[in-house]
Amino acid sequence: MESCAVLKPQQTAGNVAVKGQTTDALEPFTSHVAQLDKGLVQCTLRVLKMNGSTMLFLHAKDSNRLDELAVAMPARPPSKDTIGTTFMGESGQSDSLVMATKLSARYGRQFYVSMNIRLDNLTRPVFEKELVTYMKDNLQHFV
């Protein structure tokens, strides 16, 4: 009877490495989870950074929901515009699409966003400022 061995990947700071190596070519995906607790808006942020794109899941601390999903990416040069669409959720300018478009324009890469928290005109600017500050402080998890 033949025997076979199962090789398990090693975990290194949230990255998967094959046989102990940690080069960019072997780390196509990294993940990160954080809690954003600022004033009235408290949410969980889940990030999946991929080669050339980033996926963000934003949801309330007490529920894991997937109500919306949108994507935005920089348009082909020489344009500085971004293009985007909604996969799931409201058609038109959903919160997820607006956030994906803003992030794609800011960082020049493709962003998938699932924003499953309800914001109003007072809480949206506070939340966006907190998210942008967190992203600047932890840029290696996003770009």
CATH of residue 69: 3.30.230.100
Domain of residue 42: give its range: 29-141
pTM higher than the cut 0.85: no
For residue 122, is it within any domain? yes
| Structure confidence at residue 61 (pLDDT) | 83
CB atoms within 10 A of CB 14: 14
Tell me how far apart the alpha carbons of residues 77 and 128 are, in angstroms, rounded to a whole number. Answer: 28
Residue 26 has a pLDDT of 54
pLDDT at 63: 81
Question: Is the residue at 84 inside a domain?
Answer: yes
The total domain count for the chain is 1
- Judge whether 37 lies within some domain: yes
In the chain (143 residues long), the average pLDDT of successive 10-residue segments reads: 37 39 59 85 92 93 86 86 88 87 94 91 88 94 93
Please check whether residue 116 lies inside any domain of the structure: yes
Cα angle value 34/137/59 (rounded, 5°)? 30
Give the pLDDT confidence score for residue 2 in this predicted structure.
39
